[in-house]
Amino acid sequence: MNEVPLEFILLTPLNWEQWKAHVLEDEVQYPESLQTSEEEYAHMLKALPNASFVLLYQNQYAGNCIIKCLGAEDWVDLHMEDLSLPEGVYYLHNYSVSGVFQGKGLGQKMFAHLLQHLRSLGVKELWGHFRPNASLNNALKVGAIRVREEPNWYETGETFTLCKIPLVF
């Protein structure tokens, strides 16, 4: 059986207009308190080096990964201030496979591509909060280490798991 080729397109301020409707449409799957505005995304994409991208499957938008380079002010916002992380920590802000494309293994492939890209940039670890679904399962499959549970994170009524993923061994 031939595998359908995937295409990963680096998401930048220059192509944001082309992809923003898709990325923002994916936001509706998250509780309102976690949804990111168009302006916030545009700001995140200006950070360098960039590691955010969209996924195309059979030439159709199928998902996205948005990476944020954290500063000290972000630690408080993400309830990570007690971890004493250095400036410039990479954080998986959004990791989403669009509804009709879920269940095809695309999330795992997107995660593998993301980690390969981050390694090529010299990133040593990636942090993120994961819902108790395929996103957490995919993170654990690639070596994520559970740091702690975040009950009722952002008043969503859900427990998210804070993980770090070592990228160098």
Q: Each residue of 89-112: pLDDT tens digit?
A: 899 998 889 888 988 889 899 999
Structure tokens, 57: 């499957």
Residue 1 domain flag: no
Strand order in the sheet with 145-150: 6-10, 53-57, 60-70, 89-97, 125-130, 160-166, 145-150
Residue 39 domain flag: yes
d(CA 142, CA 43): 28
Residue 30 domain flag: yes
Q: Based on the structure, what is the number of domains in the chain?
A: 1
- Enclosing domain of residue 162: 6-166
Q: Which CATH number characterizes residue 93's domain?
A: 3.40.630.30
Residue 159 domain flag: yes
pTM: 0.87
- Please name which of 129, 65, 133 lies closest in space to residue 103, comparing C-alpha atoms: 133
Q: Each residue of 10-29: pLDDT tens digit?
A: 999 999 999 999 998 888 87
